């Protein structure tokens, strides 16, 4: 019996699709435990167990600790109702919360971001979990900068499906000369978003769309109203199934973070990084990050600086060319090929005899 654990809404865990595909193909008996932090009302199978406790958007660490503690209690109570001999832990923090349960069986450990590694106790437990795991997957080679020296497998944040069809779209035929920039996801990284908005504000050649909600939605919206910025639009929360269609309307994907935050953003390759690749769209990223390194190396977009407007205009035609879409396809295919090896590792885990 396998327990799959995730610390957020499973709808926002695209790589779970890879596990789901294999679990069902191999006929594995599994339960999924996840935290419905956004209060979504989606219908799932009977083996999906949901902790319904919406968490407010806040930076108050005390409120977060209380919420995580409640989730931990719920999770441990449910895990002890059945005898699970295998675990698939889809994020670092879940592993920390149920580290005592993981001693009871074999497990796969997923590291998808930098979380609380600045705390000694967290690093200590994380190191033990990595060392004792059947395998530990990381979604970005950049994570090796802060993780223990161990063997890791790369498992990119993409679902194993045939979605590359989006890449075949011809973007040379446009109904308008307006360049559309899109952010889809939790609205944060205020300083960088504000720089982008102010560099492009009220220029009729640009429209900026922010789809989603988050910490900085109200602040950015208030700034736009105060400064009478007319070419920036906030559309609010969307269903995850709508995300690709929202992004397909873009000419460029906004994917720039506040690098001053530190390790939290410095080493990751975000979901929208892969979304941009899949759609054959250029992305705008922050400087001095692993994401920046990849975008520069493979010419996948623009690095954010004080000449953003000029850089966008000078690059617009090049990014609409079929040659650019080919670059995206090549890198996306490279990621998928790396995922094939990871999928084989998961298959071996599912068929592993617990006596081994």
Residues 283-331 pLDDT 10s: 999 999 999 999 999 999 999 999 999 999 999 999 999 999 999 999 9
H helices of 201-270, in order, are 217-226, 243-248, 263-266
Place of tokens 């002890």: 80
The 10 Å CB-count burial string (b at 16+, else e) for 120-147 is eeeeebbeebbeebbbbbbbbebbeeeb
Instruction: Going residue by residue through the chain, which has 356 residues, state the pLDDT in tens, using 9 for 90 and above.
Output: 999 999 998 988 888 999 999 999 999 999 999 999 877 777 888 999 999 887 765 566 777 788 899 999 999 999 999 989 999 999 999 999 999 999 889 999 999 999 889 999 999 999 999 999 999 999 999 999 999 999 999 999 887 554 545 554 555 545 678 999 999 999 999 999 999 999 999 999 999 999 999 889 999 999 999 999 999 999 999 988 899 999 999 999 999 999 888 888 899 999 899 999 999 999 999 999 999 999 999 999 999 999 999 999 999 999 999 999 999 999 999 999 999 999 999 999 999 876 54
Question: Is 310 exposed, middle or buried (CB count within 10 Å of its CB: 0-12, 13-18, 19+)?
Answer: exposed
SS3 label, residue 284: strand
pTM, 2 dp: 0.85
Question: What span, in angstroms and rounded, lies between the C-alpha atoms of 63 and 278?
Answer: 37
């Amino acid at each position: 019996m396998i327990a799959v654990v995730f610390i957020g809404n499973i709808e926002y865990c695209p790589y779970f699709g890879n596990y789901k595909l294999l679990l069902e193909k191999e006929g594995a008996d599994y339960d999924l435990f996840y935290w419905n932090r956004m209060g979504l009302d989606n219908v799932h199978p009977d083996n999906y167990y949901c902790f319904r406790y919406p968490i407010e958007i806040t930076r108050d660490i005390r409120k977060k600790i209380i919420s995580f503690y409640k989730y931990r209690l719920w999770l441990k109570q449910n895990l002890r109702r059945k005898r699970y001999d295998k675990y698939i832990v889809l994020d670092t923090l879940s592993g920390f919360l149920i580290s005592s349960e993981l001693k009871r069986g074999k497990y796969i450990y997923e590291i998808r971001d930098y979380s609380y590694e600045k705390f000694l106790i967290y690093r200590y437990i994380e190191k033990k979990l990595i060392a004792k795991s059947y395998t530990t997957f990381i979604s970005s080679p950049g994570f090796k900068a802060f993780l223990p020296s161990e063997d890791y497998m790369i498992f990119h944040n993409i679902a194993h499906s045939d979605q590359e069809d989006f890449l075949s779209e011809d973007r040379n035929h446009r109904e308008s000369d307006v360049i559309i920039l899109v952010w889809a996801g939790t609205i944060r990284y205020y300083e960088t978003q504000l720089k982008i908005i102010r560099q492009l504000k009220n220029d009729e050649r640009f429209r900026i769309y922010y789809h989603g909600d988050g910490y900085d939605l109200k602040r950015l919206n208030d700034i736009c109203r105060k400064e009478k910025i007319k070419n920036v639009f906030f559309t609010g929360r969307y269903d995850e199934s709508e995300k690709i269609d929202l992004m397909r309307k873009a000419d460029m994907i906004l994917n720039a973070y506040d690098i001053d935050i530190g390790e939290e953003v410095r080493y990751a390759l975000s979901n929208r990084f892969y979304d941009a690749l899949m759609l054959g769209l250029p992305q705008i990223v922050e400087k001095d990050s692993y994401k920046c390194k990849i975008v520069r190396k493979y010419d996948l977009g623009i690095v954010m600086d004080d000449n953003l407007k000029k850089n966008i205009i000078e690059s617009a035609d090049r990014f609409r060319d079929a040659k650019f879409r080919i670059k995206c396809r090549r890198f996306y295919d490279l990621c998928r090929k790396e995922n094939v090896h990871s999928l084989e590792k998961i298959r071996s885990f599912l068929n592993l005899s617990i006596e081994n």
